Amino acid sequence: SRCEEGVLVFEVIDNGKGFGAEEKAQKGMTGIGIDNIDKRIKTWHGESYGVEIISEKDTGTRVMIRQPVMQKGEIHDTGNDCGR
């Protein structure tokens, strides 16, 4: 994970077989679970946050989850708390 300007980004990257645009279109994002997580993060924090999947066939896949950095118990974006 990394922190940039008040945003926490979790990344998972692999160098597997990946998938192309046609396969992604057939499945939605990739399934009900990931779509639900993306919608919840966007509902709670806004459209600039959520799940992003970048994949290229025969190259690999990168999944990023972006959400605001928050202190325990907070329900709103606290701004830039990187490095705390």
| DSSP helix/strand/coil, 21 | helix
Query: pLDDT over 90 for what percent of the chain?
Result: 26
pLDDT of residue 25: 54
pLDDT tens digits, one per residue of 34-70: 889 999 999 999 999 999 988 888 888 898 999 988 7
Is residue 24 predicted with pLDDT exceeding 80?
no
Q: How confident is the model at residue 23 (pLDDT cuts 50, 70, 90)?
A: low
Q: What are phi and psi of 16, to 5 degrees?
A: -80, -155
Q: Which residues contact 50 (CB under 8 A, 6 or more apart)?
A: 37, 38, 39, 41, 42, 65, 66
**Cα–Cα separations (whole angstroms), residue 69 to 50, 78, 83:** 13, 7, 11
pTM to 2 decimal places = 0.65
